[in-house]
Amino acid sequence: MTIVLLGYMASGKSSVSKLLGTELKLPVLDLDDYIEMKEEKTIPEIFESKGEIYFRMKEHTYLKEILETKKSMIVSLGGGTPCYANNMNLIHEYTKQTFYLQTSIPEIINRVKDEKAKRPLIRIISDEDLPEFIGKHLFERNSFYQQATYSILTDKKTIESLVEEIKAQLN
């Protein structure tokens, strides 16, 4: 069984996938970590030195590489992964167990504002401009995120309760 978690930056993908992995006794693969390991650079370094298009190409290549192993695992995507290179269709060729962790704009702003530095797409956005940027960005990305089989609202929920919700949907 391959389970894929997706959602905007700071929607809780990494924390939820770790606990889900522990509970289901499945390995967890974080696509951003995998890209960093393969490229021997951090994500901000890749954006900085090679640019976003290069990053998106690699993101697609490594996602494919991971899915092709057909191993049982939980894959935590990067926030933009579903929105490029037909990645949602690719994922659904391998598994229908896809979960969108849906987080509201105010909640995302709260979570990202103190850790902008590690997020290349928002590091240059001022705190003042963040609500408008995130609002527009989520609007553009929504149709991709909505392709997930399940949507799970995350606001004001604990990691434990999100994991329970996901487990209840698994078949």
Which residues form the interface with ligand S3P (CB under 6 A)? 9, 32, 43, 78-80, 119-121
Q: Is the CB of 112 or the CB of 166 nearer to ligand S3P?
A: 112
Judged by DSSP in three states, 49 sits in helix
Q: Is 33 helix (H, G, I), strand (E, B) or coil?
A: helix
Note whether 137 and 126 are within 8 A (CB): no
Query: Closest CB to ligand S3P among 25 and 78?
Result: 78
Residue the block writes with tokens 């849906």: 102
Q: Please identify, using beta-carbon distances, which residue of 70 and 129 lies nearer to ligand S3P.
A: 129
Alpha helix locations (H) across 2-158? 13-24, 31-39, 43-50, 52-68, 87-94, 105-112, 130-145
Closest distance of CB 142 from ligand S3P, Å: 13
H or E stretch including 169?
Answer: helix 159-169
> Least CB distance from residue 68 to ligand S3P, whole Å?
20
Alpha-carbon distances, residue 1 vs 51, 98, 153, 170 (angstroms): 34, 11, 23, 10
Nearer to ligand S3P, 79 or 97 (CB): 79
To the nearest whole angstrom, how small is the minimum distance from the Cβ of residue 171 to ligand S3P?
Answer: 27
Instruction: Report the residue number, 117 or 168, with the smaller CB distance to ligand S3P.
Output: 117
- Output the smallest distance, CB 23 to ligand S3P, in A: 21
Distance of closest approach, residue 46 Cβ to ligand S3P, in angstroms: 9
Cα separation, 135 vs 92, in Å, equals: 27
